[in-house]
């Protein structure tokens, strides 16, 4: 499948609160609009690659001393390379420009769900093939995170079971071969469903196309072992992450490999696997 456009949402409430708290404090962790609509931003589909593709450490402008009175950026290889545990959804129907997709019809536009790693260059940001059909996921529908805010009518779904209970796991494998499971969480840790994301995305009349991809946003639980990014786990570089074999990490190093896996398992013992989404960090190009 050729991916058309790509929109990444921010529906992981626990992740959004934890990261917001790190930078703005608990009282202002969430932006005022966060619980009212699925916040999203457009990204370039050309940089989405299949599992197993090596990931080059990116170059960009960073602030070597963010506390300096006069901000002076330098060109550098990313020093705070992170992973983000997400789910992706593929669009299978077009809508016409100017015609929003009603919430009750949104699920008919979603073809299937995949594992997604949204690689993130935290310091650069500061300055500047395996699809599981949604039909197969029906038995694993569940309720998402509770909200104390009532959404507008166009985002209200008939069923409260609008997300999927997908068991998600992230393994970090170092260049020495040592593997550590750094995250275990569930796809139900979302404030908004893919249906709501799609409906809100198209409410202005934005035309969606077959092959477009929606990212869920980083999926985290409330416990430390359920955090879907290193930024949350290291509390923005305040702590280290202890790995098997005695190694430690703050952010990803060259040679590190991130392996994301997903599994649905019912009471009847039926298992639906998502395969793996993995990528290894290779050094930045010389400049």
Q: Does 180 appear as a known binding residue?
A: no
**Cβ–Cβ under 8 Å, residues 64 and 24:** no
**Cβ–Cβ under 8 Å, residues 192 and 261:** no
- In angstroms, the CA 6 to CA 203 distance is 17
Q: Does 248 appear as a known binding residue?
A: no
Q: Does 122 appear as a known binding residue?
A: no
Using alpha carbons only, how large is the chain's radius of gyration in Å?
19
Q: Does 53 appear as a known binding residue?
A: no
Give the N- to C-terminal CA distance of the chain in Å, as an integer.
35
- In angstroms, the CA 57 to CA 139 distance is 39
Vertex 106: Cα angle to 105 and 110 (nearest 5)? 125
Q: Does 99 appear as a known binding residue?
A: no
Q: Does 125 appear as a known binding residue?
A: yes
Scanning the structure block, which residue is given the tokens 């209200």?
156
- In angstroms, the CA 218 to CA 36 distance is 18
Q: Does 31 appear as a known binding residue?
A: no
* Token couple for 13: 């409430």
36 counts as catalytic: no
Sequence-separated (6 or more) residues with CB below 8 Å from residue 275: 51, 115, 130, 261
**Total length of the chain:** 287
What is the H or E stretch that residue 17 is in?
helix 13-24
Q: Does 227 appear as a known binding residue?
A: no
Binding residues for Ca(2+), by number, are: 8, 84, 86, 118
Binding residues, by number, are: 8, 10, 24, 84, 86, 118, 125, 218
Q: Catalogue the active-site residues.
A: 15
Binding residues for substrate, by number, are: 10, 24, 125, 218
Binding residues for Mg(2+), by number, are: 118
């Amino acid at each position: 499948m050729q991916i058309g456009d790509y929109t990444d949402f921010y529906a992981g409430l626990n992740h959004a609160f934890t990261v917001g708290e790190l930078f703005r404090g608990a009282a202002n962790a969430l932006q005022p609009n966060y619980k009212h609509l699925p916040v999203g931003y457009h990204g370039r589909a050309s940089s989405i690659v299949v599992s197993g593709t090596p990931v080059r450490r990116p170059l960009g402008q960073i602030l070597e001393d963010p506390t300096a009175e006069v901000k002076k950026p330098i060109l550098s290889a990313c020093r705070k390379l992170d992973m983000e545990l997400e789910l992706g959804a593929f669009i299978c129907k077009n809508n016409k420009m100017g015609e929003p997709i009603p919430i009750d019809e949104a699920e008919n536009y979603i073809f299937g769900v995949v594992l997604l790693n949204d690689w993130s260059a935290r310091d650069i940001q500061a300055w500047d093939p395996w699809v599981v059909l949604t039909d197969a996921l029906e038995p694993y529908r569940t309720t998402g995170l509770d909200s104390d805010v009532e959404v507008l009518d166009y985002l209200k779904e008939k069923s409260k079971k609008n997300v999927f209970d997908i068991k998600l796991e992230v393994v970090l494998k170092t260049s020495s071969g040592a593997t550590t499971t750094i995250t275990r969480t569930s796809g139900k840790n979302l404030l908004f469903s893919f249906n709501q994301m799609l409906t809100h995305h198209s409410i202005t009349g934005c035309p969606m196309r077959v092959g477009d991809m929606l990212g869920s946003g980083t999926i985290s639980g409330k416990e430390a072992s359920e955090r879907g990014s290193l930024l949350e786990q290291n509390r923005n570089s305040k702590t280290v992450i202890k790995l098997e074999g005695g190694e430690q990490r703050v952010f990803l190093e060259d040679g590190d490999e991130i392996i994301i896996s997903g599994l649905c398992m019912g009471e009847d013992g039926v298992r639906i696997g998502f395969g793996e989404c993995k990528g290894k960090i290779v050094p930045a190009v010389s400049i």
